[in-house]
A and B are shown apart, each in its own frame.
Chain A
Amino acid sequence: MELLSGGEMLIRALHDEGVELLFGYPGGAALHIYDAIFNQDKVAHILVRHEQAATHAADGYARATGKPGVVLVTSGPGATNAITGIATAFMDSIPMVVISGQVDSSLIGSDAFQETDMVGVSRPIVKHSFMVQTAEDIPMVVKKAFHIATTGRPGPVVIDVPKDVTDPARKFEYQYPSTVKMRSYSVPGKGHTGQIKKAVEILLSAKRPIIYAGGGVIQGNASALLTELARKLGYPVTNTLMGLGAFPAPDKQFLGMLGMHGTFEANNAMHFSDVVLGIGVRFDDRVTNAVAKFCPGAKILHVDIDPASISKTVAADVPIVGSVTSVLEEMLELVSQADAKVDRKSLDLWWQQIEGWRGKQCLKVMPADNDVIKPQQVVESVYRVTDGEAYVSSDVGQHQMFAAQYYHFNKPRRWINSGGLGTMGFGFPAAMGVQLAFPDAISVCITGEGSIQMCIQELATCLQYGLPVKIVCLNNESLGMVRQWQDMQYGGRYSSSTYSESLPDFVKLVEAYGHVGVRIEKLSELDQKMAEAFALKDRLVFIDVAVDPSEHVYPMAIKGGSMKDMYLSKTERT
């Protein structure tokens, strides 16, 4: 057997786990580990410029590939800087393993230099965490960490490693375990067959059905199955913000996103449905609006791998705990049987009603005067220029909702966005992670001038590793989403949401970082300049687009109402 130090074991274990890339930033407590990285070439390390970006990049990598993202940070400030990214991954159930250096075991608890109780600080935002006691434990801890992070409902796992445990002078026998068994952790497999039968019966007898699919379908790699089931039934489908791409957006059966900024047709179809099939969703408050008024006439069929998600906010009539893949497979089998018939007549009437709502064209963009660009038009332009084939990450704000509404995701894992935590600063590092995973793909970050400044330092990382990310900044010279709420609820008092005079010249800024910058101010130039920017395949291009600052995101749910209660424009509401 081979003799390795703790630091070497960590890196070797990552390799044995199939990890090719890790994102990190060095510091005292992690230096033995960094030395172990230097002495091998199997696992590549990407040096970011801020630990938050390491977690977001690993997260973007994980969302796009389905493989766990891996992060390495030092103790104290390195670890605390990673917290926002860990919380982001936790809220969206993203598989991630974060290795944090820790002070020497003998110093723990003494308020030593750069000591933070990382296991304690991260406890509410991890799926699990480990503090490594001795180097001999490392292979099993790493094995368990990846097992926990990637199975069941995925999530981030922290491994805190005291520096003495990685001491290069102390070597131990290394063998990576081939299996792991934990008596206290089991992964839900198939759903209950009787429940699935019952759900399918209800589904088939529905008169006004709707399929409401979320991030769990993408995480569970079940998009193809979902699409097959939906097409077989001919039922309308809506996706959550997290689920965009789970069902192909250009499909006639797709009603668009639902929820706070969902479409008129999706939200109405939910409200007036008689059967809701929720798959890989959690009936989030941004979807349901007032829970008491949610889907008053509907039977709720709820499929999720996490039992705690079921009947948490909305009671399920038929709860099914299981992996979405296996449940969908069983459902497909049942609806494919000869005697399985949908209520065609009612369904036709239902579609007529839905087409009526669709006819409202709630996302139709009203062009502005004087060649002014509407933010929605920018997303439409990106969609055209990239043929709908890009990986699109975003930050948080109006631009995020416009991206979700106007980039019609055809495939899963293309829409990379912080849905649960809503983390400004997520988009750009996430786009780096995507680009590293898929060097030849188009990786776009649709952002705002507010959000992009939260991780702008990563421009340097992109130069170092030659990452040709395209940054499309919908520059409305304000914290647009905040301003929208201030317009709607605070009498237009823009408390700390504007900063026009102090915005940087983004073109000069990115040039200073060694990249290309483009400024677009006229609608008549939009498509052409956008195309030129995307034509620079090997370069990072920052496309700063001046957009109409007065624009709001619509539809928008009316707080306290049901799903059908929406503002449709500044002057129209339901």
Chain B
Amino acid sequence: MRHIISILLENEPGALSRVVGLFSQRNYNIESLTVAPTEDHTLSRLTITTIGDDRKIEQITKHLNKLIDVVKLVDLTEGAHIERELMLLKVKATGAQRAEIKRTTDIFRGQIVDVTSTVYSIQLTGASDKLDSFLAAIGNAAVLEVARTGVTGISRGEKVLSL
């Protein structure tokens, strides 16, 4: 099963490499990874999506917790949560396609953020499967370039990941 693990990490040199190293060292897989400092500049927040059965996920969270630089973590997929990913993409947009792409973008609540006579640059946010669906709707042939941020997330309700 796919899990989203969110981590508060000491904002120290080398901390990120310890997390990434753990995954390769123990043969765990990383589907996506996002990281940025938080409002507290001594902490970074890192979000990893990974795939594994319960046993494997338990090992992953235990080993992450053992890393000295990991302050706190939560497996967001254990409860109700909000996940988002941002995608920027360039698509071929000529002739009749221009209107069609515009319409599809609207349906997915995306925005066209740059335009040339032959190309649209589109911005879209949502859960990863929504971005996948959008790409499927546009069709491979039209897509020129895709940049995705990877998933970030937060739990629903009053639960917070903080010190």
Complex CA gap A148/B63 in Å reads 16
Distance of A308 Cα from B66 Cα, bound (Å): 8
Q: For residue B21, which residues in chain A have a CB less than 8 angstroms away from its CB?
A: 123-124
Question: Contacts of B63 on A, CB cut-off 8 Å?
Answer: 308
* Interface membership of A499, Cβ < 8 A: no
Q: Determine if A129 is an interface residue (Cβ-Cβ < 8 Å).
A: yes
B14 touches A131 (CB 8 A): yes
Chain A residue with Cβ nearest B71: A184
- Shortest distance between the CB of A400 and any CB in chain B (Å): 27
Chain B, 126-147, CB within 8 A of any chain A CB? none
Known: A308-B59, A308-B62, A308-B63. A123 touches B18 (CB 8 A): yes
Q: Which residue of B lies closest to A120 (CB)?
A: B17
Give the chain B neighbours of A129 by CB distance below 8 A.
Answer: 14
A307 to B25, CA, bound (A): 19
A307 in contact with B62 (CB, 8 Å): yes
Q: Mark A120-144, 1 if CB is under 8 A from B, else 0.
A: 1001100111010000000000000
Q: Looking at the complex, which one of B10, B14, B25, B163 makes contact with A119 (CB distance below 8 Å)?
A: B14
Is B17 a contact partner of A128 (Cβ separation < 8 A)?
no
Q: Label chain B's interface by main secondary structure.
A: helix
* CB neighbours of B58 from chain A (8 A): 311
Residue B83, interface by CB 8 Å: no
Say if the beta carbon of B38 comes within 8 Å of chain A. Answer: no
A182 located at the interface, meaning its Cβ lies under 8 Å from any Cβ of chain B in the complex: yes
**A124–B25 CB distance below 8 A:** yes
Give chain B nearest CB distance to A313 CB in angstroms.
Answer: 10
- Does A312 sit within 8 A of B, measured CB to CB? yes
Question: Would you call A184 and B17 a contact (CB within 8 A)?
Answer: no
A380 within 8 A of B: no
A268 vs B99: C-alpha distance in the bound complex, in angstroms? Answer: 76
- A311: chain B residues at CB < 8 Å are 55, 58
Which residue from chain B places its CB closest to the CB of A144 in the assembled complex?
B68
Q: Does B85 contact A (CB under 8 A)?
A: no
C-alpha gap A224/B163 in the complex (Å): 40
Residues 149-202 of A at the B interface (beta carbon under 8 Å): 182-185
Residues of A with C-beta under 8 A to B157: none
Complex interface: chain A residues within 8 A of B13 (CB) = 131
Report if B65 contacts A (CB, 8 A): yes
Nearest Cβ on chain B to A131's Cβ, whole angstroms? 7
Instruction: Find the A residue at minimum CB distance from B58.
Output: A311
List the A side residues contacting B14 at CB < 8 Å: 119-120, 123, 129, 131
For B, the interface residue count at a CB cutoff of 8 angstroms equals 19
Chain B proximity of A424: nearest CB distance (Å): 23
- A8 CB-CB contact with B under 8 Å: no
Q: A216 vs B18: C-alpha distance in the bound complex, in angstroms?
A: 25
B-side contacts of A306, CB under 8 Å: 66
B112 → A minimal CB distance (Å): 42
Q: Give the docked Cα–Cα distance between A128 and B68 (Å).
A: 7
1/0 contact string of B60-90 vs chain A (CB within 8 Å) = 0011011011110000000000000000000
**Which residue in chain B gives the minimum CB-CB distance to A183?**
B71
Hey, which chain A residues are within 8 Å of B65, CB to CB? 307-308
Within 8 A of A (CB), among B1-40: 10, 13-14, 17-18, 21, 25
Query: A183 near B17 (CB under 8 angstroms)?
Result: no
Known interface pairs A123-B17, A184-B68. Does A312 touch B10 (Cβ–Cβ under 8 Å)? no
Name A125's closest neighbour in chain B (CB-CB): B25
Complex CA gap A250/B21 in Å reads: 45
Contacts of A182 in B (CB 8 A): 68
Which of the listed residues B14, B17, B21, B163 has the most CB atoms from chain A within 10 Å of its own CB? B14
What residues on A are CB-neighbors of B59 within 8 Å? 308, 312
Q: How far is the CA of A308 from the CA of B58 in the complex (A)?
A: 8
A184 x B69 contact (CB < 8 A): yes
Nearest residue, chain B, Cβ from A119: B14
Chain A, 228-247, contact with B by CB distance < 8 Å: what is the 0/1 string?
00000000000000000000
Pick 29 A–B contacts, CB within 8 A, sort by A: A120-B14, A120-B17, A123-B14, A123-B21, A124-B21, A128-B68, A129-B14, A131-B13, A131-B14, A148-B68, A182-B68, A183-B71, A183-B163, A184-B10, A184-B69, A184-B70, A184-B71, A185-B68, A306-B66, A307-B62, A307-B65, A307-B66, A308-B59, A308-B62, A308-B63, A308-B66, A311-B55, A311-B58, A315-B55
The residues of B with any CB-CB pair to A shorter than 8 Å are 10, 13-14, 17-18, 21, 25, 55, 58-59, 62-63, 65-66, 68-71, 163
Q: Contacts A123-B18, A124-B25, A307-B62 given; 8 further ones with Cβ under 8 A?
A: A120-B14, A123-B21, A127-B68, A184-B10, A306-B66, A307-B66, A308-B63, A311-B58
Binding site for B on A (CB under 8 A): 119-120, 123-124, 127-129, 131, 148, 182-185, 306-308, 311-312, 315
